[in-house]
Amino acid sequence: MAKTEKQREAWRRWYEKKGRVSGALRHAEWIRKHKREAKAIQDRWYAKHGKEWGAKYREKNHEKILKRQRLRYERIRKEAGPKAPRPPKKEKTSEECRAYQRAWYQKNIEKMRAYGRDWARAHPETVRANGERYRRENRGHLLAQAKEWKRKNPEKVAAIKQARYARKKGAEGRLSAEEWATLLALFDNKCAYCGVPLDNRNRTRDHKIPLVRGGSNRSDNILPACRSCNSRKNTKTHEEFLAYAYPAGTANP
Ligand SMILES: [Zn+2]
């Protein structure tokens, strides 16, 4: 496949006319269109020169290749014209960096969360170990935090305790926060039995049929009651309690 001097000269002229880049692009295009033929040419080349030919050539002609590259870059630089001066790099303060990172995170929050979830799912052992270590190292802080949350959310604490108790008694159903709010509104935020106004300190959920007597934990079995009525009622049903607290003839609010 050696080219004759004449052929080489023709190629050189063609390259000069079309420009090197265009020539390289056409070459790549030809290979794309003639895959089988290109492969055959390559195979023949390798059969003749061996697969290591390229590596050997590069080793032997290291200097020459470097020089060729340098010339090529110089040519490209010259063609591109004078370089535009680079704008002076602004020194960012750490505050700006953090703000930038925050903004970036906010912008990509869904992506980052999905990434975190995938990572956690792929590394359950690491996640567990990290969690254990974090809880061990921040025990005091976490306990204080939990205490503070309980102080601020007595309603939720009561609901959690009550739900736990209901589960323990095997009661069916569950009272949602919305249902509880509806019940409170229905009774004007007053005790269903004595009518005393309810607040965070005295508000309780009374089970009309107590859980211990097989009552459910659904909203149709729950009434808002003051702590006092609830403890007096104890394990009575609401009917038994009304008969006991307000015997016939006495006022029943
Ligand atoms: Zn009451």
Q: Which domains does the chain have, with CATH numbers?
A: 9-48 (no CATH), 151-245 (1.10.30.50)
> With DSSP H G I counted as helix, E B as strand and the rest as coil, what are the percentages for the chain, rounded to 5?
70, 5, 25
Write down the pLDDT at residue 124. 92
**In whole angstroms, how large is the CA radius of gyration of the chain?**
41
Cα 187 to averaged position of ligand 1 atoms, centre (Å): 12
Is residue 133 packed enough to be buried (19+ CB in 10 Å), middle (13-18) or exposed (0-12)?
exposed
Is residue 158 packed enough to be buried (19+ CB in 10 Å), middle (13-18) or exposed (0-12)?
middle
Q: Mean pLDDT, the chain, as a whole number?
A: 85
Write down the pLDDT at residue 231. 93
At 160, the pLDDT band (50, 70, 90 cuts) reads: confident
Cα 176 to averaged position of ligand 1 atoms, centre (Å): 22
Write down the pLDDT at residue 3. 55
Residue 215: φ, ψ to 5° = -70, 155
Predicted structure pTM score: 0.43
How many Å apart are CA 205 and CA 158, to the nearest integer?
Answer: 9
Cα 214 to averaged position of ligand 1 atoms, centre (Å): 23
At 201, the pLDDT band (50, 70, 90 cuts) reads: confident
Residue 253, pLDDT above cutoff 70: no
Residues whose Cβ atom is located within 5 A of ion ligand 1: 191, 193-194, 226, 229
b/e 38-55 (16+ beta carbons within 10 angstroms → b): eeeeeeeeeeeeeeeeee
Residue 100 CB-half CA count within 13 A? 6
